[in-house]
Amino acid sequence: MADLRSRSPVLAAGAAPASAPAADPRETILSVEGLAIDIAGRNGPARIVDGISFDLRRGETLGVVGESGCGKSLSMLSLVGLLPNKIRVTGGTATFDGRDLLSMSTKELRKLRGGEIGFVFQDPMTSLNPVMRIGDQLAEPLIYHRGLSRAQARARAGELMRLVGIPGGETRLDNYPHELSGGMRQRVMIAMGLACEPSVLIADEPTTALDVTIQAQIVELVTSLRARLGMSVVWITHDLALIAGLADRLIVLYAGTIVEDAPVDDLYARPTHPYTRGLLGSIPRLAGDGTSAARLPSIGGTPPEPGRRPPGCPFAPRCHQRMPVCESRVPQLEPVSGGNPAHKVACFAARDIREAAQ
């Protein structure tokens, strides 16, 4: 499965991923421990994110992958106080550059968002204000977070438009969102996320609605900007082929829990959790003659609904490698035996799966 990295849209477009700036590998800028999120329901709260933990180092790109509804976006939104109504954090800790995110006031979080932590949302057409000109939307965070005058902010907005490669640059500042293409709107969202040169950029499936060519351009753009600005990136996606050429490390979520956490090369070469292997196996491939390969395998069943998780491993009802212990106990995220100590998996059958793959 290691060859999947060669089919990343970025690499296919002929651009090698930029290297992260040199940084102390021990220096962590964002640390999440035991994060739990509940949603209010008729029968009481239901758990939708259950005790996830991860660290993000300076200059690192972390990919967060999994099916829709697994808790990817909610986990990241919770860190900056943007959870929807009836959904709240009920456990765990989260620190950013030594500060407790979960205890910050609304005012403190407002200063943090867009300033030190940038956010690129999934759909720019619903995230951008349709009745505000692009230049005004780009200038707003610069005025609020950096104290620039309106003229200074507009000049900086023009620089940002050029930075993200929008044709025409400053001439587009007076356009409204509907006057731009989907790819250009997404570049505007990236420009807004980068406006105040944040330490961390969180990109929530920013290429989902774009065609493959534009996806490759956006991924290449973020990769080069990461190296140029020295920031850390969290890229949320369900597309394992896309993230291959972008991330340094991946965490795989299922039903609100992390089932695998590994350096990107090791995960693609030696995927261990049955869910990860299923996701990788569902990526389309071409046969040697350029035609499509055999019918894609699928993961049977559906993820459990919030509040209706099975008593043991949440993936057990869909898993072909399940054992009796999987239905009664929840596996913990632990280093893979005999492998890279940075490669962790939550699976009782992990040893058997690794031995069978060798």
81 in the same domain as 46: yes
56 in the same domain as 188: no
130 in the same domain as 95: no
Residue 11 lies in a domain: yes
100 in the same domain as 2: yes
- Check pLDDT > 90 for residue 332: yes
- Check pLDDT > 60 for residue 23: no
- Check pLDDT > 90 for residue 37: yes
Domain total of the chain: 2
Would residue 147 be called left, alpha or beta, if left means φ above 0 and alpha means ψ between -120 and 50 degrees?
left
Listed residues 249, 269, 300: the one ending a domain = 300
In this prediction, residue 12 carries a pLDDT of 43
Compute the Cα dihedral for 246, 242, 275, 67 and give only its sign.
Answer: positive
Listed residues 148, 167, 195: the one ending a domain = 195
- In single-letter form, the type of residue at position 243 comes to I
134 in the same domain as 277: no
In this prediction, residue 282 carries a pLDDT of 80
Q: How many Å apart are CA 114 and CA 156, to the nearest integer?
A: 15
203 in the same domain as 190: no
227/273: higher pLDDT: 273
79 in the same domain as 35: yes
Residue 40 lies in a domain: yes
In this prediction, residue 10 carries a pLDDT of 38
In this prediction, residue 11 carries a pLDDT of 36
207 in the same domain as 145: no
How far CA 35 is from CA of 31, 40, 76, in Å, comes to 10, 17, 10
- In single-letter form, the type of residue at position 313 comes to C
How far CA 220 is from CA of 165, 224, 247, in Å, comes to 11, 6, 12
- Check pLDDT > 90 for residue 190: no
In this prediction, residue 41 carries a pLDDT of 84
In this prediction, residue 291 carries a pLDDT of 57
286 in the same domain as 218: yes
- Ordered DSSP codes for 40-92: --TTS-EEEEEEEEEEEETT-EEEEE--TTSSHHHHHHHHTT-PPTTEEEEEE
- For residue range 225-264, list pLDDT tens digits in order: 888 888 999 999 988 888 888 899 999 999 999 999 999 9
Q: 3-state SS of 234-248?
A: EEEECCHHHHCCCCC
Q: How many Å apart are CA 23 and CA 9, to the nearest integer?
A: 27
- Check pLDDT > 80 for residue 208: no
Average model confidence (pLDDT) across the chain: 85
> If you ran DSSP here, which 8-state letter would residue 260 be given?
E
- For residue range 87-128, list pLDDT tens digits in order: 999 999 999 999 999 999 999 999 999 889 999 887 777 789
216 in the same domain as 78: yes
Residue 172 lies in a domain: yes
Boundaries of domain holding 95: 1-18+28-105+199-300
Listed residues 259, 283, 300: the one ending a domain = 300
261 in the same domain as 288: yes
86 in the same domain as 51: yes
Which residues contact residue 262 at a Cβ distance below 8 angstroms, ignoring those fewer than 6 apart? 249, 250, 340, 342, 343, 344, 345
In this prediction, residue 7 carries a pLDDT of 40
